[in-house]
Amino acid sequence: MTKLILVLGDQLSKDMAALRAAEDGDVIVMAEVQDEASYVAHHPKKIAFIFAAMRKFADALREDGFKVAYTRLDDPENSHKIGGELLRRAEEFGADRIIATEPGEWRLINILTYLPIPVTQLPDDRFFASHAEFEDWAEDRKELRMEWFYREMRRKTGLLMEGDDPAGGEWNYDQQNRKPAKPDLFRKTPPEFEPDAITEEVLTLVEDRFGDHFGDLRPFRYATDRAGALKALDHFIAHALDEFGPYQDAMLIDDPLLFHSVLSPYLNAGLLSPREICEAAAGAYADGKVRLNSAEGFIRQILGWREFMRGIYFLQGPDYTSQNRLGHRRDLPALYWGGETRMACLSAAVGQTQKLAYAHHIQRLMVTGNFALLAGIDPAQVHEWYLAVYLDAYEWVEAPNVIGMSQFADGGLVGSKPYVSSGNYINKMSDYCGNCAYSVSRKTGEGACPFNLLYWDFMLRHRDLLEQNSRVSRIYANWDRMDKDRRSTVLAEAAAFLDRMEAGEIV
């Protein structure tokens, strides 16, 4: 009897478990559906990237001899639901069961689980750690910290290992990776890819159907197939990885990419594998082409954080995205959707996101995430924004980064402390503050940096919880030594700022 083999838009790898299970006569099912394109208001670039990559992957499967039933978004018979397309194709081809690789969202897992036709969901073995391995590692631990998990992954894979010891004698070289950057007109940027006929057709479709979504669709310069993704990987290893480490936390208004790889869209869609990326970086270090702190810092983002985020997401279950330990309830302000703001750092990070559907990890964590946390924004709204606007965002990796690391909404499961700062950190790591309507050096009064005011407001709102945290508690001694009148002024001005923001005024 015929089986259907489901391939989703973030499973564009020929070695996916479901594809390996395919036999002669089976039908590969792929579908562009409205439900997946609009359950959050995805950036048009993200929709176009996924649809174009899906169409090219379907063609590649056909060239390999697979029978592919592909539904385009504008197909008049499209049910616009993954479940609906599977049932339609099952009836069309007389299929009695479905094989899928486990999706990366509980929402889709549940859809497949409750279809009125047997569905086998095979483990997604593209990752270094299985669910069972992560669960075994996490069992009976008082704290789940990425650093300890990362070391286990280094031992398991042998990446950057010298026998039983880490290369260079240290596991982590973060202390060497916190330099601010200077503008450089000769810095090489990631390769750009002109849209071919398939991509152009998709762009026109997305323009017509999703033109009201936040984000600029054109110009579109991302690769949409494996050949292009490999070219991007080779370029990063040859031209940017060596400088990536020292400057990975830096931010410049006129240089949004710096030495970042911008490989995460290809990695998370399946066009590149985590193993080949990590091995390329480790190989460049072994060949003496890149410094150790750069290779290690880059590999840690994939082998450490990426794997850890996936482990947390599946360990915590489908209710994880609803966590709100700090009780934050404010609505996400319009500035996150391109509304005017006087804050140069947020204008730069959101503007870059609007244009590119990309921002690097410090822009996400210490600018847009930091402000949302300080301002008490509802973490569910923050989560949906990140899921919508970034090309590389899929819930399994986005939710723990936002709910856990960025918004501390899980109460410290992912991060040992909230990632909050005053304006000083942003000023140290960027050139944003020199162009701002606010003064980063002003703590109170006219033109005081909102981050300076909101930092103390946040710390005082959550003193009962955070004062017990050894990594945070000493900060309260600084507050208690502050002049009483100054403390009152800080809190009053923070409250006035938040009132203006909630009233929809430009802040």
> Where a domain ends, among 316, 347, 363?
316
In a domain, 322, yes or no: no
473, part of any domain: yes
Measured in degrees and rounded to the nearest 5, phi and psi for residue 488 equal -65, -40
In a domain, 196, yes or no: no
Shared domain check, 338 and 308: no
Residue 247 has pLDDT above 90, yes or no: yes
User: 268-293 in b/e burial notation, b at 16+ Cβ within 10 A?
Assistant: bbbbbebeebbebbbebbeeeebbbb
Question: Mean pLDDT of all residues in the chain?
Answer: 97
Both 417 and 285 in one domain: the answer is no
**Coil/strand/helix, residue 382:** helix
- 26 and 157 inside one domain: no
Residue 100 lies in a domain: yes
The CATH number that applies at residue 434 is 1.10.579.10
- Determine if the pTM surpasses 0.95: yes
Instruction: Please check whether residue 364 lies inside any domain of the structure.
Output: yes
pLDDT tens digits, 291-340: 999 999 999 999 999 999 999 999 999 999 999 999 999 999 999 999 99
Q: Do 364 and 253 share a domain, yes or no?
A: no
Task: Clarify whether residues 373 and 271 are in a common domain.
Answer: no
Q: Are residues 17 and 37 in the same domain?
A: yes
pLDDT at 473: 84
pLDDT recorded at residue 470: 84
- pLDDT for residue 23 is more than 90: yes
Identify the pLDDT of residue 91.
97
Are residues 164 and 274 located together in one domain of the fold? yes
pLDDT score at 74: 97
- Same-domain pairing of 162 and 279: yes
| Digit-coded pLDDT (tens) for 48-68 | 999 999 999 999 999 999 999
Mean pLDDT of 436-455: 97
Task: Give yes or no: residues 116 and 136 share one domain.
Answer: no
Residue type, 254: D
Q: Which residues contact 137 (CB under 8 A, 6 or more apart)?
A: 129, 149, 152, 311
Rounded to the nearest 10°, the torsion over CA 423, 429, 430, 435 is 30
Instruction: Report pLDDT digits (tens) over 252-268.
Output: 999 999 999 999 999 99
Residues near 153 by Cβ (< 8 Å), separated by ≥ 6?
128, 129, 159, 303, 304, 307
User: Do 18 and 152 share a domain, yes or no?
Assistant: no
Q: Which domain holds residue 260?
A: 131-190+240-316
Mean pLDDT value of segment 413-436: 95
- The reply to whether 113 falls in a domain is yes
- Tens of pLDDT, residue by residue over 462-471, are 999 999 888 8
Q: Of 122, 154, 173, which marks where a domain is finished?
A: 122
The reported pLDDT for the residue numbered 308 is 98
Question: CB 493: neighbour CB atoms within 10 A?
Answer: 21
- Do 110 and 154 share a domain, yes or no? no
72, 99, 122 - which closes a domain: 122
**206 domain residue, yes or no:** no
The answer to whether residue 42 is domain-embedded is yes
Q: What is the DSSP string of 120-155?
A: EEE--TTSSS-HHHHHHHHTT-S---HHHHHHHHHH
Q: What CATH number did the domain enclosing 56 receive?
A: 3.40.50.620
CA atoms within 13 A on the CB side of 471: 7
Q: Number of structural domains, the chain?
A: 3
User: pLDDT tens digits for 134-161?
Assistant: 999 999 998 999 999 999 999 999 999 9
Tens of pLDDT along 195-213? 999 999 999 999 999 999 9
